[in-house]
Structure 1
Amino acid sequence: MSVFPHPWKALRELDTVAVSWRDDLPPPVHAVTNGRNIIWMAKNLLQVERRCALQHELIHIEHGHTCRQNSRIEAQVRQITAERLIPARLLFRAWKAALSVEEWAESLWVTPAVLADRLDHLSPDEQHTAEQLKASARERGAD
C-alpha cells in the first residue's frame, strides 16, 4: 500500500473516465476535462506533473465542472488538490528532512506549485505545527 495518495488509482475506480494524451494543449496548460468522462493531458509532462494534473482534473469531474471555471473556482480546486495530495502527516515529516522547497516538493511527489498551494491554506492546527517546526529549526541554527 502506498503511503502517498494515488490519483491514478482513483481514476481506475472511475470506469467512465478516460485520459487522452495530447501534444496540442497550449502551454502552460497541463490538462483539461469536459467534467464528465474525459481528461485531455499533455504528453510531455513529467510523472509528478501528470499526478498533480490528474488529481486537479478529477476534482473538476467530482464537482461537475463542465466548462471553463472562473479564478475563484480554480483556486478552490487547487486548494483541494493540494490537500488531497499532501496530507498533514506527510507534509510535516517531509519538511523536517528537506533542504529546499524543491526537495520538499519532490519528497512529497508533487510540484512546487502544489506544495505552495498547500502551504497557503494550512489549517489553524497545521499553522501551529509549522510555527513549532520553525522555532525548532531556529534553535538548531537552521532557517
Structure 2
Amino acid sequence: MKRLVLIFLMLAAPVWAVQPDEVLSDPQLEARARELSKELRCLVCRNESIDDSNADIARDLRLLVRERLVGGDSDAQVMDFIVARYGEYVLLKPQTGGSNLVLWAAGPGMLLLALGVGGMYLRRRARVSKSADKGLTEQEKARLKEILKD
C-alpha cells in the first residue's frame, strides 16, 4: 500500500511544478502560458518541459513567459524572445529548417552510408569466395609437390 501511494505521488510531482504564486488571474493568459511552457525545455533537466520541472531556472522561465504575455506579446513573440536569449536548445521540438536541417539529415544519411558500405563489403566477399572455390591451378599443384618433396 505504501508503494502504491509513493508511485501516485511520484506521478503527480509535475502537477506541483507550477507554483500558486505563478498562476495568472486571467484564465486565457494562463492557458496560453501553460501551452508555451510545455514547448520549452528546462535548461537543467533532460527533456523535461519547464511546465513539469521544479528547477529554479524553470520557474524563472515560467515567470518570464507570463511577464511577456501580460505585457501584450503574442505567443510567437514570446517564443522568439526566449529562443534569442537562450538559443534553440530551449525548444523541445527544434525547428527543421536552416542549420538544423544538417542535424536532421545526418542520422538518415549515416544510415544510408552504412548500408551502402555494408552492401559493398558483402558483394566483394561473395566474389572472393567464388574465386577461392576454384582450387589450385596445375602450376600451383606442381610447385606444392616440389616443396613437399624437399
Scaled by the length of structure 2, the TM-score of the pair is 0.31
- The structure whose residues are more often helix, as a share, is 2
- The structure whose residues are more often strand, as a share, is 1
Higher RCO, 1 vs 2 (CA within 8 Å, ≥6 residues apart): 1
Scaled by the length of structure 1, the TM-score of the pair is 0.32
